[in-house]
Amino acid sequence: MKILAPSWLVLPFMLLLAGCPEGGGGDGGFSAGGAQIAFVANTGPNELSAYTINGVGALTDAGTFPLADIPSSIAVSPNGSFAFVGTNNGIYAFTVNAVTGGLASVAGSPFSSANTFNAVTVSPNGRFLYAANNNGTLSGYTISGSTGILALVGAPSAVGTTPSGVAVSPNGSFLYVSNQGSNDVSAFTINGTTGALSGIGAPVAAGTAPSGVAVSPNGLFLYVSNQGSNDVSAFTINGTTGALSGIGTSVAAGTSPSGITIEPDGQFLYVSNSGGGGNVSGYRITAGTGALVSLGAVFPAGTIPVGIATPGRP
């Protein structure tokens, strides 16, 4: 679950609702006797901001948590127990206090230090974490359900140049990586027992400088925001093999589209456009075909919005 800020941006870049339920749907929060919680990763001061969310959606400051390194992405386990942050020096892991939103460092964190990770995501069953490394590889880890400790699964897998986004299908069977440098998407099957990855064919071409990647809640479609060509590419997913097939031509977005998300019902897709003054493009997903139809207008956002999330669908 990743929304990547390009490496040259030094900004607060992502709001992530903690506690996404397994399968990627639901209300975007977790209870377990606690509150719904949101996090923002801030690349300027190198810190995480935590918030609790009340019944009308208002955010209450729950504190900030400094990082020694520059964050690029964040993911939260489906049960809301752990938060993982990709940085320029490994992966930071935290336990999450379900009541206060407080974070406590997991023993051994950061993991795989000395590596720069552009994107991280957690599998829908919460057992595995996958991280896209700036050197063109993808690493898989098991997550200890009791401690949040990460353990590397095998050797890193080769992907394209400058991987920038990573997403797992709702059934946990397939993983996709958008490669900003090589303008394509790499696809893998996931071993449900070990978490090991196996490549599917050759990379599939996307637009120019693909940034974010998202899979629809029904697992049938994949979408990629292309920062260089200012558009969104759409693909169907073969439910048996995980292979991708393009859906027509790319659909126009705003300037420098970056973050991408699909709301839990799977009807609408939104893209944050980091250029052109800052706004969000919206699309209706055509049932059956997955084709995108523009909602006909852009929605205002803040300055340089590079990340976007809907409840339960970072």
Residues 6+ apart with CB under 8 A from 224: 165, 178, 185, 206, 207, 210, 211, 212, 213, 232, 233, 235, 260
Percent of the chain exceeding pLDDT 90 equals 56
| Exposed/middle/buried for residue 61 (C-beta within 10 Å: 0-12, 13-18, 19+) | exposed
Among all chains, which residue has been given the structure tokens 């986004």?
165
- From the CB of residue 240, how many other CB atoms can be counted at a distance below 10 Å? 7
Per-residue tokens: 135: 């050197």
Per-residue tokens: 291: 């084709």
Beta bridge partners of 86: 73, 91
pLDDT at 215 exceeding the cut of 80: yes
- From the CB of residue 164, how many other CB atoms can be counted at a distance below 10 Å? 32
pLDDT-derived band at 106, boundaries 50, 70, 90: very high
pLDDT at 218 exceeding the cut of 70: yes
Three-state secondary structure call for residue 92:
strand
In this prediction, residue 33 carries a pLDDT of: 44
Report pLDDT digits (tens) over 234-253.
999 999 999 999 999 999 99
Distance (Å) of CA 134 to CA 19, 116, 143, 208: 27, 6, 22, 18
pLDDT-derived band at 269, boundaries 50, 70, 90: very high
Residues 6+ apart with CB under 8 A from 119: 2, 4, 72, 73, 86, 131, 132, 163, 164, 165, 166, 177
In this prediction, residue 299 carries a pLDDT of: 86
Report pLDDT digits (tens) over 153-199.
989 999 999 999 999 999 999 999 999 999 999 999 999 999 999 99
Which DSSP category does 88 fall into?
A: B
Say which residue, 10 or 106, is predicted with more confidence: 106
Say which residue, 95 or 8, is predicted with more confidence: 95
Among 1-10, 31-40, 45-54, 210-219, whose mean pLDDT is lowest? 1-10
Distance (Å) of CA 18 to CA 28, 231, 243, 309: 6, 29, 30, 11
Beta bridge partners of 184: 179, 205
Q: How far apart are CA 197 and CA 35, in angstroms?
A: 35
Q: Mean per-residue pLDDT for 84-111?
A: 91
In this prediction, residue 198 carries a pLDDT of: 94
In this prediction, residue 260 carries a pLDDT of: 87
pTM of model > 0.95: no
For residue 254, the one-letter residue type is: G
Phi, psi of 107 (to 5 degrees): -55, 135
In this prediction, residue 199 carries a pLDDT of: 94
Return the ∠ at Cα 81 (arms to 260 and 4), rounded to 5°.
25
Say which residue, 270 or 51, is predicted with more confidence: 270
- Delimit the domains of the chain by residue range: 12-300
In this prediction, residue 311 carries a pLDDT of: 54
CB 278 within 8 A of CB 304: yes
Query: Between 3.30.160.150, 2.130.10.10, 3.30.300.30, 3.40.190.170, what CATH number should domain 12-300 receive?
Result: 2.130.10.10
